[in-house]
Structure 1
Amino acid sequence: MKINYNNRRFRPIQNTENGETSAETIFIYQQAGGIVTSEYSGGEIIKGSLIAKVNDKGELDMRYQQINTKGEFMTGICHSTPEILPDGRIRLHEKWQWTSGDKSSGESILEELA
């Protein structure tokens, strides 16, 4: 499945309790070849960025870093699996783990904004 993430915007619709993203967090994805990047902010996140490699299935293997409203610098890894919704938007099913703090893991779902 070839997916182009360039200029797509996403918002979390679900996250486990130990995550920091919320419905107020907006991700703006950019893609150049097999590399996807994003800047994001909102909710508990003052500023964040990620970089990912995308495979032929459209899955993203990413690393992220962010500064939260407590002033903490947080980092993590994430694997995102895309689902194409009936209206053509993308839903990302994510399994992630903090590489800082308590190093706990969680799951989230992001949906492309219309």
Structure 2
Amino acid sequence: MINYNNIIFNPISNSENGEVDLSMQFVYKQSGNIVTCTYSGGRIRSGQLIALVDDKGCLDMRYHQINIQGEIMTGICRSTPEILYNGKIRLHEKWKWTAGDFSEGESVLEEQ
């Protein structure tokens, strides 16, 4: 199992309908198979995620955030890890809003 505790991820791509800004940082914490994170920046005033990690390092995630318009946005995400040549982790994410327009998107995060 991948241990995500204290790993910092930076977004490197995101679908246009997403709110994550490429300058943001996500600091993951892990206890057992539970992963959590808080984040903010860009179009997001405050956000949190919680996930279960499986034995392959995949994350089954739920997130909620307040954007700069003052709206509460929620969603689900499935993140699949890729171990890069330098040993760092890249997360390939498929997500869907469970608020707003209920659209779907994809993003990629990479370990700092």
Contact in 2 for aligned 1:11/1:22 (Cα 8 Å): no
Question: Who is 1:27 aligned against?
Answer: 26
Matched, 1:58 2:84: no
Partner of 2:35: 36
Instruction: Give structure 1 regions of 4+ aligned residues with deviation exceeding 4 angstroms.
Output: none
CA distance in 2, matches of 1:17, 1:107: 9
Q: Percent identity?
A: 65
Give CA deviations for 1:28-66 in whole Å, capped at 9, x if unaligned: 100000000000111111110000000010000000000
Q: TM-score, normalization: structure 1? A: 0.96
State yes or no: 1:47 paired with 2:38: no
Gaps of 5+ in 1: none
Q: Where does residue 7 of structure 2 map in the other structure?
A: 8
Instruction: Provide the C-alpha distance between the structure 2 equivalents of 1:70 and 1:112, rounded to a whole number of angstroms.
Output: 29
Structure-2 residue corresponding to 1:98: 97
Cα separation, 2, equivalents of 1:68 and 1:92: 23
- Unaligned runs of 5+ residues in structure 2 are none
Equivalent residue pairs, number: 112
Q: How many angstroms does 1:88 deviate by?
A: 1.1
CA RMSD of aligned residues (A): 0.6
CA deviation vs aligned residue, 1:65-109 (integer Å, no higher than 9, x gap) = 001111111000000000011111110000000000000000000
> Aligned partners of 1:43, 1:90: CA distance in 2, in Å?
23
Separation in 1, partners of 2:21, 2:86 = 23
